[in-house]
């Protein structure tokens, strides 16, 4: 069995009730569920939540909510990996036999079922480790710097000061959208960024990490344009 797990807790400090807030006229969580279902990759689409209102929306949108997430795994410090591990273990305790698991974040309005389907095929043809949705940094990070009043400006990589931008190695970052891995990989891993992990690259106009209202407004602009 292949499953998608959408971790959608009720608490959100910077954008209150972010997973339920209307994005271009629809609840944010609805987009993740729709992408998972339309990808036709998964036998079950599970929402892991501690919140009754989110659970009700998830079921209405076509996902399953077979249990409530514990308070311990619903605070600001709970990581993605233990939440997915908890979901797998609880499903297996109920008799489910799980092979592939995709974690899909709940705030991904720019994600389509087609993209998930392509990523799933990529994973299945090259299985091993995590497949991580990623994108390239907009600007070469080797030319970045810190600044403080007491220490002034300090380059991250001063040795690259004279290197032309086009000669610098591309650097990527997590797109904050989804991960694929085998059941055993999820259960036996303590981190996702390892030498065995691979990237599924997304274009920059399909990526927006939504943590502030400024992010939210930019994501709506991208959604309406593309």
pLDDT in tens, 18-76: 999 999 999 999 999 999 999 999 999 999 999 999 999 999 999 999 999 999 999 88
pLDDT above 80 for 127: no
Contacts of 186 (CB under 8 A, 6+ apart): 81, 84, 85, 88, 101
pLDDT value for 14: 87
pLDDT, averaged across the chain: 95
Q: What CATH code would you report for 2-135+172-225?
A: 3.90.550.10
pLDDT value for 163: 94
pLDDT in tens, 159-208: 999 999 889 999 999 999 999 999 999 999 999 999 999 999 999 999 99
Q: Compute φ and ψ for 73, nearest 5 degrees.
A: -100, 15
Percentage helix, strand, coil for the chain under 3-state DSSP, each rounded to 5: 35, 25, 40
The Cα angle at residue 27 between residues 175 and 130, in degrees rounded to 5 = 25
pLDDT above 90 for 126: no
pLDDT value for 77: 86
215: which DSSP letter? H
| In the chain, domain spans | 2-135+172-225
pLDDT value for 79: 93
The Cα angle at residue 166 between residues 157 and 222, in degrees rounded to 5 = 95
Whether 92 and 11 have beta carbons less than 8 Å apart is answered as no
pTM for the model: 0.94
pLDDT confidence of 12, banded at 50, 70, 90?
confident
pLDDT value for 38: 98
152: which DSSP letter? E
pLDDT above 90 for 128: no
pLDDT confidence of 8, banded at 50, 70, 90?
very high
pLDDT value for 93: 94
């Amino acid at each position: 069995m292949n499953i998608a797990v959408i971790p959608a807790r009720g608490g959100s400090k910077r954008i209150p009730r972010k997973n339920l807030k209307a994005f271009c006229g629809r609840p944010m969580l609805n987009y993740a569920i729709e992408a998972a279902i339309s990808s036709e990759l998964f036998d079950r689409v599970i929402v892991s939540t501690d919140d009754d209102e989110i659970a009700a929306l998830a079921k209405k949108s076509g996902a399953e909510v077979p249990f409530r997430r514990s308070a311990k795994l619903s605070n600001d410090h709970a990581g993605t990996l233990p939440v997915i591990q908890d979901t797998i273990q609880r499903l297996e305790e109920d008799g489910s036999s799980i092979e592939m698991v995709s974690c899909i974040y709940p705030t991904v309005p720019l994600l389509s079922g087609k993209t998930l389907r392509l990523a799933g095929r990529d994973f299945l043809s090259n299985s091993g480790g995590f497949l991580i949705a990623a994108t390239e940094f907009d600007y070469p990070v080797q030319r970045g710097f810190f600044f403080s009043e007491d220490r002034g400006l300090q380059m991250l990589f001063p040795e690259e000061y004279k290197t032309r931008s086009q000669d610098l190695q591309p650097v990527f970052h997590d797109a904050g959208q989804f991960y694929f891995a085998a059941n055993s990989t999820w259960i036996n891993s303590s981190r996702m960024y390892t030498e065995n992990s691979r990237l599924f690259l997304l274009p920059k106009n399909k990526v927006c990490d939504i943590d502030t209202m400024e992010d939210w407004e930019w994501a709506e602009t991208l959604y309406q344009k593309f």
